[in-house]
With several copies, the nearest count.
Chain A
Amino acid sequence: MTITAKYFGLIADFTKEIEEEFTIEKSDFSTEDLLNDLKQKYSELQETSFVIAVNKNITSENLNLKNNDIIALLPPFAGG
């Protein structure tokens, strides 16, 4: 399956990308698996506070990902 990770604010500063597509060989792959891979790739993520949104819904659960899912990494909000 193919999934997209989106990066915002402070996080996009160190990923140097605002979006990345990943092709996953396994059929069983969760948000936690993705975050573990990303923390390997971007060590700064380990000291960054953020929440994740799967297909625009914020979630704190460990969800199984499907083909075409969009996972956003969102640092603290600062509207207003």
Chain B
Amino acid sequence: MEKKTIKKSFTQGAIAAEFIGNSIAKHQNKTSIGAHNIFLGQVRADEIEGKIVSAIEYSAYEEMAEQSFYEIREAAFEKYDLTCLHIYHSLGLVKTGEICLFVFVSAPRRKVVYKALEFLVEEIKEKVAIFGKEIFEDETYTWKKNS
């Protein structure tokens, strides 16, 4: 008997561009797919009160967050006619210019992928218990809030 395991979305450190390229390559044997839509979150070198962000250190309530990712993924499959979808989010240190969020949806036809991707990203931002410490060049920090 197969046990249904919850697919993990967290990954340690930044998400490499090469990993994204490989994920795309893995979908090329699924010939019912006509459209992919990918969202990438990249860490910005924001200026906050005169100091420049050099990295974000992500932490999470992991058990709860993986459960939220699972629910968001199920909701997306329920709402949209998707062939597959993947979510990856960083934990730990991600430097400016590096990628911390990778959301990937695929479907036979394109119309549905725009909406599905926006739904997923907005749900992740709003509902997943992830915390980000914006670390400045002088090693002080502030806690990030989503807007």
Range, interface on chain A: 10 to 19
**A74 B129 Cβ-Cβ under 8 A:** yes
Q: CB distance B63 to A77 under 8 Å?
A: no
State whether B121 touches A80 (Cβ < 8 A). Answer: yes
B interface size (C-beta, 8 A): 27
User: Are A79 and B59 within 8 A (Cβ)?
Assistant: no
Q: Is A78 in contact with B132, judged by CB distance below 8 angstroms?
A: yes
| Pairwise interchain contact B61-A80, C-beta atoms closer than 8 A | no
In the bound complex, what is the Cα–Cα distance between A18 and B67 (angstroms)? Answer: 20
B75 contact set on A, CB distance < 8 A: none
**Do residues B41 and A80 form an inter-chain contact, with CB atoms below 8 A?**
yes
Seen from chain A, the residues whose Cβ lies within 8 Å of a Cβ on chain B are 6, 8-10, 53, 56, 72, 74-80
Chain B residues engaging chain A, CB cutoff 8 angstroms: 41, 58-61, 63-64, 67, 89, 100-101, 110, 121, 124-133, 143-146
